[in-house]
Amino acid sequence: MIATEKLLLISCLFQGIICNTFKAFMPQRIKALSGSCVLIPCTFTIEESYENDMVEPARGIWRTSQYSGNVFDSSRHYSENTLKAELLGNVTNKNCTTIIHHLKKNYSKSYVFRAEPLKYTFTQSVLLEVADYPDRPAISPSSAVKEGAPTSLACTAPAPCPREPPALVWSDTLDGSVEIEQVEQQDGTKAVSSVLMFTTSHLHHNKDITCTAQYPVGSETKSAEEVSTLHVLYSPKNTLVIINPSGEIHEGDHVTLSCSSNANPAVSRYTWFKVKGDNITEKSAEQDLTFTDINPSDSGLYYCEARNEHGAENSTAMQLNVASPATPCIYVVMGTAAVQMLATILVVVFIMKRYVFES
């Protein structure tokens, strides 16, 4: 069959003409909602020798197969057809676009088109699927974007019934703006697209945003939703110094200064600095700055820098104070004075008791 078509095409090209064959162009599959309607975009071509047969009165017919009975005939009254449909296209213009109303679940079949007075049934078919609930809309793109860049998310949902297109609702507009437009798909079917435009922030990272497609069907609404997680690339934020242990630090203690920062991608380099007067000294290139046996000379202002491929941020400088232990002799003097005071008190008590007894 394919070889025959190629030979026919080559023959036509040699003759310098364009070959027209009997062929219908329609979507291979359309999904629609029960109780609603569906528009089937449809056109066709015929062999050039049959062009003179395309005269009025012409009619369009839909069947479930080439040799089955008619389920729709444009020459019949609306109530006489199995499919409650309407031929919108003009058959003489090779347009077979049709709208089917009041869809039922048992309409879920494949359909082929027949043109009269050609008396030709096209082999191409459309599969109609009638469902109780709509498919989820699609959100794009889902790739990571850099903070501060203007970006957009597009939510698209099919609109099989042009009279009742879906409303698209975002869970959060992210302080941006929304534009709604109707679009035509490659197969000729219609869709509705909602484009959310906003400026990215690091606060949006890992945020879930939902797009809900709401289809009006009679007196009710049938909904479906899709969730997309935002991925934002940003430089380090909220960089700060954490001292462990907290509280008073004494000479000889084990002390760790940790640099904490939020970034995407993660921080690739940490740098520690010590400030003493007008001098700034680089102390380490690790996330933690550790003192195993700290001494008063380590006292001073410390801050860290966190960096990734999108930038860097410095923490606020933190004062580290190391207290010296008290001189041992001070404790000795304090101890002697206490003993002398205690002895004096005992002597006084003894004398008072003796005086009372003798009296």
- The domain of 124 spans 2-131
Both 26 and 112 in a single domain? yes
Q: What is the pTM of this model?
A: 0.76
Q: Total domain count for the chain?
A: 4
The three-point CA angle 254-258-263 to 5° equals 170
CATH code, 43: 2.60.40.10
147 and 262, same domain (yes or no): no
pLDDT of amino acid 66: 87
pLDDT tens across 2-58, in order? 343 343 344 444 343 445 799 999 999 999 999 999 999 999 999 999 999 889 999
Same domain, yes or no, for 249 and 175? no
Query: Is the bond leading into 166 cis (omega within 30 degrees of zero)?
Result: no
pLDDT > 50? residue 1: no
Question: Do 40 and 88 fall into the same domain?
Answer: yes
If asked whether residues 221 and 240 sit together in one domain, one would say no
Q: Judge if 142 and 116 occupy the same domain.
A: no
107 shares a domain with 61: yes
Q: Is the pLDDT of residue 296 over 50?
A: yes
If asked whether residues 10 and 57 sit together in one domain, one would say: yes
- On whether both 144 and 121 belong to a single domain, the answer is no
Cα 169 to Cα 43, 143, 163, 164, 230: the distances in Å are 34, 21, 19, 16, 17
CB 294 within 8 A of CB 302: no
**Sheet with strand 98-100: strands edge to edge:** 38-40, 98-100, 85-87
Q: Output 358 or 131, whichever has higher pLDDT.
A: 131
pLDDT of residue 135: 96
Task: Specify whether 268 is located in the same domain as 317.
Answer: yes
Please indicate, yes or no, whether residues 84 and 116 belong to a single structural domain of this protein. Answer: yes
pLDDT-derived band at 351, boundaries 50, 70, 90: very low
Q: Higher-confidence residue: 341 or 11?
A: 341
